[in-house]
Amino acid sequence: MELYSIDIFSGVGGLTEGMHQADFKTELAFEIDELASNAYQLNHTDTTVITKDIRKVSITEIKRKMNGKTIHLLAGCPPCQGFSSIRRLNRVTPVDDDRNNLIMEYVRLVRALKPYTIMMENVPGLVEYDLFKKAIKILTEELNYKIDFKVVNVKDYGVPQSRRRLVLVGSRLGELKVAEPSNEKRSVRDVIGKLPKPENSNDPLHKIFPKHTDKVKQRISLTPKDGGSWKDLPKEFILECHKGKNIGFNDVYGRLRWNSHSTTITGGCLNPSKGRFLHPEEDRNISAREAALLQSFPPNYKFPVDAPVSKIALMIGNALPPKFSYYQSINIKEHLKKQLGNNNLTD
């Protein structure tokens, strides 16, 4: 029996990849960015991808595309960059960003489509946002969904990366809880330790990593292997901007550690000045393929390699780790089976 899902704000398809691994069939995906939409379609050819601002998508259009199919799961990651820890550095209030209001578009679709279950992932700072609290009130009191949400770390769900995220799940069939940690632990070595050097690889994505000036190359070569950082460099190689007291961004120009998880893979993952993105032992930044693997994408997941490096980094860093999506999706699948029965999933 088919389980049908819809992915809104789909990006390159990290959330969808996890749902597919859990046996959901994603009928529709919505993504405003054309490049990300194209990347999604490269990997999910059976899904209808609509490249459009979700605010301009009508319910009639969605229902027509679904053609009477039951919506078992409506999933999405509304962009709320104004609440990210980086954007809010040294701020009490969120950054004014019109994308912060997209959570209400998610609610609009839930209200009109009445999916059996919902899943939403976002930055932890969203919990304190008035519109998030309003969304919870509508979902529970008006639409009668049983809701659970919490801030978790994806490293506890088999993703080789520390990344704190808010995850919300809900069901109109009965109580549904956020999936418990899987206790599957994966390290940087587990996922990228056996890759060939980029110059010896046939994978075009693995060949993508930043090229540096001779001075930066020297600074990288002097950074101790397996977890070293700019703090370990001789004084003459420490940048002026790093010499003050209480300097933030301690991970910049830092190496990953082989036997631990990586730091958060962000949209700056192909720039060592943006975080701890140096290879544990080779004198270079991690490649785009290595960043995707640390996000838990499958080794053969496709990205548009002819796109600008900065765009590729954003597509990878902005994605929901598929392994995390899988554990949340399999938990929802078990809930649906329990509530509807194995042979009655379309009721």
Residues catalogued as catalytic: 80
For the chain, where are the alpha helices, taking DSSP H only?
Answer: 14-21, 34-43, 59-66, 103-113, 130-137, 188-192, 214-222, 288-294, 309-317, 322-340
Torsion of CA 307, 95, 119, 8, to 10 degrees: -40
C-alpha 204/C-alpha 132 separation (Å) is 41
* Amino acid at position 134, single letter: K
Rounded to 10°, the helix 309-317/34-43 angle is 70
C-alpha 251/C-alpha 232 separation (Å) is 12
Rg of the chain (C-alpha set) = 21
For the record, the structure tokens of 140 come out as: 């529970």
- φ and ψ at residue 285, rounded to 5 degrees: -70, 155
C-alpha 273/C-alpha 311 separation (Å) is 17
Q: Collect all residues with Cβ–Cβ distance below 8 Å to 244 and sequence separation of at least 6.
A: none
User: What is the distance, to the nearest Å, from the Cα of residue 43 to the centroid of all Cα atoms in its chain?
Assistant: 16
Listed residue (294, 215, 307) closest to 253, CA to CA: 215
